[in-house]
């Protein structure tokens, strides 16, 4: 009936309706909703369409309408963010930050990004001082260039109030996205870029013929 990215397995799959869609009304909004089984993983998802103004997908079960309508799915596939050559415990935290962003938990996303920066410093042997000092030490050790040091400080600034329990100002989706993008810049600088260079060097050296005695 519908093809989408399954929120359970992450594959682009056909989702077949289980039962007849029904229409429900909450406050002033009417929805057509139904459960669907993924052809790939067989697990169920729920899909619903706003039909308050006679939009497509009324509870008739019309397959064409469900296939072409703007369906909201639960669970929603949030993707998998992986950074090259980054230690697993830091990679998983960075991925979790993006998942928080995907469900509009923007404060949580920013806090995790801040933690990723601190974990990166600690992974490189920088364990003393507050986060500002750790970032400065990353620059002193030539782990990051000046503009990447500033990127790390920007993440620190926006995360500091929340880290200390001050939640007065909300975090917008745009701010969250900017912070996580800067987090990726730091991870690329410290891990991914050096890792790619090392891999290329190793591959080149493997092709060098041995020197004859």
Closest by Cα among 48, 41, 54, 52 to 14: 41
Dump pLDDT digits (tens) for 25-79: 888 888 888 899 999 999 999 988 888 765 544 444 455 566 666 788 888 888 7
Dump pLDDT digits (tens) for 96-150: 999 999 889 999 999 999 999 999 999 999 999 999 999 999 999 999 999 999 9
Residue 21: asked if its preceding bond is cis (omega within 30°), the reply is: no
pTM recorded for the entire structure: 0.74
Q: Which CATH class is domain 88-202?
A: mainly alpha
What are the structural domain ranges in the chain? Answer: 2-74, 88-202
- Residue 88: CB atoms within 10 A of its CB come to 7
Q: Give CA separation, 189 vs 10, 57, 78, 121, 183, in Å.
A: 29, 48, 25, 12, 10
């Amino acid at each position: 009936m519908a093809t989408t990215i399954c929120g359970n397995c992450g594959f682009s799959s056909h989702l077949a309706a289980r039962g007849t869609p029904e229409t429900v009304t909450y406050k002033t909004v009417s929805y057509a909703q139904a459960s669907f089984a993924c052809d790939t993983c067989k697990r169920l998802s729920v899909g619903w369409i706003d039909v308050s103004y006679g939009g497509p997908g009324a509870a008739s079960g019309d397959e064409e309408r469900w296939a072409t309508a703007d369906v909201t799915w639960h669970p929603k596939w949030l993707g998998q963010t992986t950074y090259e050559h980054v230690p697993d415990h830091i990679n998983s935290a960075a991925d979790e930050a993006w998942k928080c962003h995907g469900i509009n938990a923007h404060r949580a996303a920013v806090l995790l990004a801040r933690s990723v920066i601190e974990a990166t410093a600690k992974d490189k042997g920088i364990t003393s001082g507050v986060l500002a000092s750790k970032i400065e030490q990353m620059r002193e050790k030539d782990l990051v260039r000046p503009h990447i040091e500033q990127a790390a400080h920007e993440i620190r600034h926006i995360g500091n109030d929340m880290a200390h329990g001050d939640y007065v100002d909300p975090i917008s989706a745009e701010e969250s996205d900017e912070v996580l993008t800067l987090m990726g810049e730091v991870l690329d600088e410290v891990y991914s870029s050096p890792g790619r260079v090392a891999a290329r060097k190793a591959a080149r050296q493997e092709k060098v013929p041995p020197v004859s005695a």
